[in-house]
Amino acid sequence: MTPQAEMTNGASGVAGGEVIPHEEVRSQLDKMLSSQTFRAAEGQKSFLKYAVGEVLAGRGSHIKEYLIGVEAFGRGDLFDPRLDPIVRTQARKLRARLAKYYETEGLNDLIRIEFPKGSYVPSFTRASSVSEASMPAPNTADAGAAPVTLEQPAPIIPKLEALVVPTPLPLAWSGNWKVRALLGLSLSLLLATAVFYYFRPVSGDGVMAAGSSIAVLPFVNLNGDGAAEFLSDGLTDDLIDSLGQVPGLRVVARTSAFRFKRKAMSVQEIGQQLRVHAILKGTVRTSGNNLRITAQLINVADGHPLWSGSFDHDTNDARGIQQEISSEVASVFGSHLRHKGNEEEAKEISSNPISEKQHEAYQHYLKGLYLWNKLTADSQKLAIEYFQEAISEDPSFARAYSALADCYVMAPQVLTASPQEVIPKIRAAANKALELDSSLGEAHIDLAICAEYDFDWATAEREFKKGLDLSPDNAVGHLWYAKYLGITGRKAEVLAQRKIATDLDPASAYALQSVGGYLSVMGRYDEAIEQFRCAMALEPNFGLTHQGLGVAYVLKGQSVKGIAELQTALKLMPGPRREALLGWAYGVTGQTAEAQRILSSFLSQSNNAGFPALAVAQVYIGLGDRNRAFEWLSKAADQKDLDLTLKWDSFYDSLRSDSRYQALLRRLKLS
């Protein structure tokens, strides 16, 4: 029985199968906590007491870096291990202090409490016995060992030696140099075997090592011209999407990966910032109809390559090369692509060269991805055209339909299209994508958003869960789901989804500022302001961060700072939604003339198709005009505006005592 296993009957397990009564472990813990070695080490005492207590309570598997920071060190639920290294620092100090204790005061103690490398879960051993796990494993290389799994306590990638976790030897063995030498040799062999099995290619349904993660850096366009940029960037996007289908593999989102485009940084530096095990990078060069792609998968821990490949083909083979790279990388992690469409497509491509039409479809698909990710009005229009061309050229291209649905989902925000206009288009494209490939999680997320527009909240949740089950690395999907939870009033669940998004997209200002939005809504303004500042450090000119910061300042009562931030947000992201928040802020801070100026401008535009009624309502809320506010909120409901977050945003606090508020909730099927 291991310390991570659930324990019963008041006994704690050791590797050799012996059980140690809980009272003996507690007695040993009490002795250590009151010892001279630990007397002044408050941080390490807290760590030790918490971890041992969790194991004795049968919760060893729950011990994670985040929980230690929150529960042992009182960091609060906003504790971010990436920004605060307290757990890693105290873990190193605790291991050193334990070693010192057992060399001095605890020299003759019968019970040993220690922390194996790579784990925050303590082990308990009896010094008078030698467990089988302490002995060198015979013929390890021939034993057909399973891939080594690794507890992931720290965001910085663990060293490879952490893969081998020896059980502490009793003192009777520690002084024998021959035994130590033999043990050292055996552990070296174990380490080599562990590394081999952890990174070996596995055929069939092999299971990858737990906690593996990868970032796909933007492939470098060696031609140097803008015309070929779409191919290198589009190929990178497609690889991120494909590798997201590998079961259990965490793939860093595009936003974070592309922050390192053209950055002169080492793989280790990038890997540590993105908290991944491996980096995939490559180059693309075209010459006429000739295409050369190189790719290399690098282990962040030591900078050594795990796999590399070079492909020289006709440009028509770009789609097949992408599939081949994805399959090779998946095999390095001991897994395979789950995406059924990819598997079938790869087999088809390997046996039959794709047609001219399929080649053109893939080229248009890559151009569409390249433009979609720019998220501007003009780029979205062109992306839609390219995806439509791809579908026209290859009607069986499932991911082109899914990408088209994604464009329509963003259309109300980016193109100011009305929901009534895009809902049938989203539904048609997403359903066709799933008809061709039922494993496309993104298409289920698109259908969830369609259901939200119809106020069909049960269907929306079902589709969100399907989508995130199939595409768990979809950071934007988690943020959409968090918004759904906010709309439906499930505030307690919002933070978890937004934190998942920040883990998947650690360098994304969009994801980080979303956590600030949660804190602001919950009335935790100081923490919200600090979170927005962290997001601003990543991307100083991101309008949504300035918007959220401005709202938090206004709600806190710091109107001058708040209005300044909202003015900056409007400059960075012009449009009625940003201007409406500024009008609201003017209204609630008594600057009535400025609020009325914005309101007059809105009313003159309100007859234009696509102008958001919610913008007018928010200015009326700021001015304290409830009657007009409810009138325009009703119009916003007619427009199916998903930014009408009545149960979520603080804007609506002044309306909640009004009977019309409850009537509006019923109309939205939220009550």
Which residues pair with residue 297 across a beta bridge?
280, 307
Lowest mean pLDDT among 75-79, 352-356, 357-361: 352-356
Write out the DSSP string of 55-112. HHTT-GGG--HHHIIIIIT---TT--TTT--HHHHHHHHHHHHHHHHHHTTTTT-SEE
The span from the CA of 132 to the CA of 146, in Å, is: 19
pTM of the full predicted structure? 0.63
- Please name the residues in contact with 352: beta carbons below 8 A apart, sequence gap of 6 or more: none
Per-residue pLDDT, 209: 52
Residue 147: pLDDT band (50, 70, 90) is very low
CA 648 to each of CA 452, 478, 530: distance values in angstroms, whole numbers, following the listed order? 15, 17, 21
Lowest mean pLDDT among 147-156, 381-390, 446-455, 575-584: 147-156
The predicted-structure confidence for 195-213, as pLDDT tens digits, reads as follows 333 333 333 333 335 458 8
**Token pair belonging to 138:** 């015979």
Per-residue pLDDT, 234: 79
pLDDT at 496 over 80: yes
Lowest mean pLDDT among 5-14, 455-464, 492-501: 5-14
pLDDT at 521 over 90: yes
Per-residue pLDDT, 335: 61
Check residues 269 and 412 and name the one with the higher pLDDT: 269
The span from the CA of 355 to the CA of 40, in Å, is: 73
pLDDT at 338 over 90: no
Check residues 338 and 77 and name the one with the higher pLDDT: 77
| pLDDT cut 70: percent of the chain above it | 79
The predicted-structure confidence for 623-636, as pLDDT tens digits, reads as follows 999 999 999 999 99
**Token pair belonging to 336:** 């395979």
**Token pair belonging to 385:** 């055209």
Q: What are phi and psi of 248, to 5 degrees?
A: 85, -10
Per the prediction, the chain carries an average pLDDT of 79
| pLDDT cut 90: percent of the chain above it | 39
CA dihedral (399, 404, 409, 414) in degrees, to 10, reads 130
The predicted-structure confidence for 14-43, as pLDDT tens digits, reads as follows 444 467 888 889 889 989 998 888 888 888
pLDDT at 179 over 50: no
pLDDT at 350 over 90: no
Per-residue pLDDT, 337: 56
Residue 191: pLDDT band (50, 70, 90) is very low
**β pairing state of 213-216 and 278-287:** parallel
Of the candidates 556, 625, 618, the one whose C-alpha atom is nearest the C-alpha of residue 581 is 618
Check residues 664 and 140 and name the one with the higher pLDDT: 664
Q: What are phi and psi of 208, to 5 degrees?
A: -70, 160
- Please name the residues in contact with 453: beta carbons below 8 A apart, sequence gap of 6 or more: 419, 423, 640, 642
Q: Where are the domains of the chain?
A: 11-132+146-153, 213-452, 474-574, 576-671
Half-sphere exposure in the Cβ direction for 364 (13 Å, CA):
23
Per-residue pLDDT, 143: 31
Per-residue pLDDT, 12: 54
Strands of 240-393, DSSP E: 250-251, 278-287, 290-299, 305-314
Write out the DSSP string of 593-612. HHHHHHHHHHHHHTTSTT--
pLDDT at 306 over 50: yes
Of the candidates 339, 267, 338, 318, the one whose C-alpha atom is nearest the C-alpha of residue 296 is 267
pLDDT at 218 over 60: yes
Yes or no: say if 567 and 548 are a contact pair by the CB < 8 Å rule: no
What is the average pLDDT across 509-537?
Answer: 92
What is the average pLDDT across 109-116?
Answer: 90
Secondary structure (3-state) at 13? strand
Lowest mean pLDDT among 57-66, 249-258, 570-579, 662-671: 57-66
Residue 103: pLDDT band (50, 70, 90) is confident
Q: Judge whether 213-452 and 474-574 match in fold.
A: no
Superfamily of chain region 213-452: TolB, N-terminal domain (3.40.50.10070)
Per-residue pLDDT, 227: 61
Per-residue pLDDT, 453: 93
Residue 82: pLDDT band (50, 70, 90) is low
Lowest mean pLDDT among 144-148, 329-333, 659-663: 144-148
What is the average pLDDT across 368-390?
Answer: 87
Sign of CA dihedral 308, 311, 317, 318: positive
Secondary structure (3-state) at 283? strand
Secondary structure (3-state) at 141? helix
Yes or no: say if 236 and 218 are a contact pair by the CB < 8 Å rule: yes
What is the average pLDDT across 300-321?
Answer: 77
pLDDT at 618 over 80: yes
Residue 241: pLDDT band (50, 70, 90) is confident
C-beta contacts of 522-531 below 8 A and 24+ residues apart: 522/491, 523/555, 523/650, 525/552, 525/553, 525/555, 525/556, 526/556, 527/76, 527/78, 528/552, 529/553, 529/556, 531/78
Yes or no: say if 120 and 63 are a contact pair by the CB < 8 Å rule: yes
The predicted-structure confidence for 457-479, as pLDDT tens digits, reads as follows 999 999 999 999 988 888 999 99
Angle separating helix axes 491-504 and 475-487, nearest 10 degrees? 170
Per-residue pLDDT, 414: 75
Q: What are phi and psi of 363, to 5 degrees?
A: -60, -45
Task: Annotate 105-118 with three-state secondary structure.
Answer: CCCCCCEEEECCCC
Q: How many CB atoms lie within 10 A of CB 663?
A: 13
What is the average pLDDT across 236-247?
Answer: 82
The span from the CA of 286 to the CA of 225, in Å, is: 11
pLDDT at 299 over 70: yes
The span from the CA of 446 to the CA of 458, in Å, is: 15
CATH of 474-574, one of 3.40.50.970, 3.40.1210.10, 3.40.50.720, 1.25.40.10: 1.25.40.10
Residue 347: pLDDT band (50, 70, 90) is very low
